[in-house]
């Protein structure tokens, strides 16, 4: 039985911060020694630093400064640097979140050192092995001792893949802990005034998936379709650096009404999301956040690893055909959008349930009889 005293929490890329902040705070409040390591996968102030302030998260104890590179090189860099970090600062448990390259890299290093791994947001599956995130989440799950799932489909996938029930803990959605904690503050910011928008009178879009932005033809068609929506309501587009670079490289002209903005901080984006008429996105996390807020969301992908946002929440999986965007948006803007309901366990207390599991102790994989 292991009752961890020293926990190292990992953040690396933008979608990690809002999942790790509540876990870090809950574990520290229980008296554990918690160390925060930032791999540096995201490094622009607007993709990283602003989140620490917005979420009230302490500065990282270590910054590995890996930066951008192709997938294998970035993963390898994180592994080398995190191995040295663990050598200098041993831990009983390494806590990782989500499905980015930093998640898999640090989980693997801990596993190779015989250190227990906890995975926040375990069990999600898109069934699309071409997505780097699908590779990362499946491989991370299989080397984790504690699998913290957000919804029942996560448990089902893990059990079907042969992972023992004793490793699976359905704690709910940690990202929604952050959302509930900061929602009121986000609504008080003057973001809408700054951007010249009226509550309920605009749409928001984000795009960054390789499948949407790496092919110039697909990207141009998506931008044109967003232009059709922008003919009806202003569409605000806080743009990921990789998408901006692709638009510039391809020389794509921006239709009027489509308003490009710098990537926003957590609070500003939350405020914008909570008051929009419609979200159009290929993000994973935004599908969940709009479900928690009851805001209609059109997901511009062919699959989702978050089906509960469609079956229960406010999400519609529209697919990646740009021609379907304007008709679906028009319907929602006419008032026919899905509002859905909030799934069980997305209640703002997931981090407390995670801390209960960690502090209650568990038998790590290294101490289990073979095959169990
Ligand atoms: C990563 C995650 C993705 C997540 C996304 C959220 C992986 C495999 N992908 O994708 O799951 O949804 O983060 O944003 O881990 N760049 C900057 N500044 C930064 C970071 C990146 O300009 O601070 C640019 C660089 O040109 C870089 C490119 O964005 O090469 C891609 O960054 P990378 O971290 O490799 O992947 P993301 O597309 O951000």
- Which secondary-structure segment (H or E) carries 328? helix 325-331
Q: Which two structure tokens, joined as six digits, stand for 232?
A: 């009806």
pLDDT given for residue 369 in this prediction: 80
Q: Which two structure tokens, joined as six digits, stand for 105?
A: 């890299």
* 3-state SS, residue 366: helix
**Sign of torsion, CA 324 325 327 331?**
positive
Asked whether the beta carbons of 340 and 239 are under 8 A apart, the reply is: no
Domains of the chain, start order: 6-172+347-367 (3.40.50.2000), 184-336 (3.40.50.2000)
Query: For residue 337, how far is its CA from the centre of ligand 1 (angstroms)?
Result: 31
Question: What is the spatial distance between Cα 313 and Cα 363, in angstroms, rounded to a whole number?
Answer: 35
pLDDT given for residue 191 in this prediction: 95
Partners of 116 in the β-ladder: 93
Ligand 1 proximity of 43 Cβ (cutoff 6 Å)? yes
pLDDT given for residue 368 in this prediction: 86
Report phi then psi at 179, rounded to 5. -60, -50
Select from 241, 263, 304 the residue to mutate for testing ligand 1; criterion: most ligand atoms less than 8 Å from CB. Answer: 241
Select from 10, 48, 100, 300 the residue to mutate for testing ligand 1; criterion: most ligand atoms less than 8 Å from CB. Answer: 100
Q: Which two structure tokens, joined as six digits, stand for 289?
A: 């956040």
Q: What is the DSSP letter of 128?
A: -
Ligand 1 proximity of 133 Cβ (cutoff 6 Å)? yes
Query: For residue 163, how far is its CA from the centre of ligand 1 (angstroms)?
Result: 30
Asked whether the beta carbons of 287 and 259 are under 8 A apart, the reply is: no
Per-run averaged pLDDT (10 residues), the chain, 372 residues: 97 97 98 98 93 96 97 98 98 98 98 98 96 97 98 98 96 98 97 95 96 95 97 96 95 93 95 98 97 98 96 96 96 93 97 98 91 70
Total residues found in the chain within this entry = 372
pTM of the model: 0.96
Ligand 1 proximity of 208 Cβ (cutoff 6 Å)? yes
Asked whether the beta carbons of 236 and 312 are under 8 A apart, the reply is: no
Q: Considering the candidates 24, 42, 119, 208, report the single residue annotated as catalytic.
A: 208
Average pLDDT, the chain: 96
Q: What is the DSSP secondary-structure string of 250-268?
A: HTPPPPTTEEEEPPPPHHH
Catalytic, 208? Answer yes
Ligand 1 proximity of 356 Cβ (cutoff 6 Å)? no
HEC string of 32-73 equals: CEEEEEECCCCCCHHHCHHHHHHHCCCCCCEECCCCCCCHHH
Ligand 1 proximity of 68 Cβ (cutoff 6 Å)? yes
Ligand 1 proximity of 32 Cβ (cutoff 6 Å)? no
Q: Which two structure tokens, joined as six digits, stand for 45?
A: 């102030």
């Amino acid at each position: 039985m292991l009752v961890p005293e020293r926990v190292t929490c990992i953040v690396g890329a933008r979608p990690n911060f809002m999942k790790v902040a509540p876990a870090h705070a809950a574990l520290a409040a229980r008296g554990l020694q918690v160390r925060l390591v930032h791999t540096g996968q995201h490094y622009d102030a607007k993709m990283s630093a602003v989140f620490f302030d917005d979420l009230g998260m302490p500065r990282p104890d270590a910054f590995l400064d890996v930066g951008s590179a192709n997938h294998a090189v970035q993963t390898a860099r994180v592994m080398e640097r995190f191995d040295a970090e663990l050598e200098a600062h041993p831990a009983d448990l390494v806590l990782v979140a989500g499905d980015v390259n930093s998640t898999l890299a640090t989980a693997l290093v801990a596993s190779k050192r015989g250190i227990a791994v906890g995975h926040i947001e375990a069990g999600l599956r898109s069934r699309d092995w071409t997505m780097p995130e699908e590779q990362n989440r499946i491989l991370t799950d299989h080397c984790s001792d504690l699998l913290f799932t957000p919804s029942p489909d996560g448990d089902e996938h893990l059990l079907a893949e042969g992972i023992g029930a004793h490793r699976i803990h359905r704690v709910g959605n940690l990202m929604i802990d952050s959302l509930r904690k900061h929602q009121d503050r986000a609504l008080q910011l003057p973001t809408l005034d700054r951007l010249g928008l009226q509550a309920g009178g605009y749409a928001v879009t984000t795009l960054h998936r390789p499948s949407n932005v790496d092919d110039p033809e697909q990207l141009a068609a998506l931008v044109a379709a967003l232009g059709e929506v922008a003919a009806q309501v202003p569409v605000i587009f806080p743009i990921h650096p990789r998408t901006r670079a692709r638009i510039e490289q391809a020389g794509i002209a921006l239709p009027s009404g489509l308003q490009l903005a710098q990537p926003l901080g957590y609070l500003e984006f939350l405020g914008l999301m909570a008051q929009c008429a419609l979200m159009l996105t290929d993000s994973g996390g935004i599908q969940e956040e709009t479900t928690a807020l009851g805001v209609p969301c059109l997901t511009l992908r062919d699959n989702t690893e978050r089906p509960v946002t469609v079956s229960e929440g406010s999400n519609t999986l529209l697919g990646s055909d740009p021609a379907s965007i304007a008709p679906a948006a028009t319907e929602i803007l006419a008032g026919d959008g899905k509002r859905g309901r909030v799934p069980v366990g997305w209640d703002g207390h997931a981090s407390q349930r995670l801390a209960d599991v960690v502090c209650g102790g568990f038998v790590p994989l290294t101490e289990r009889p073979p095959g169990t």
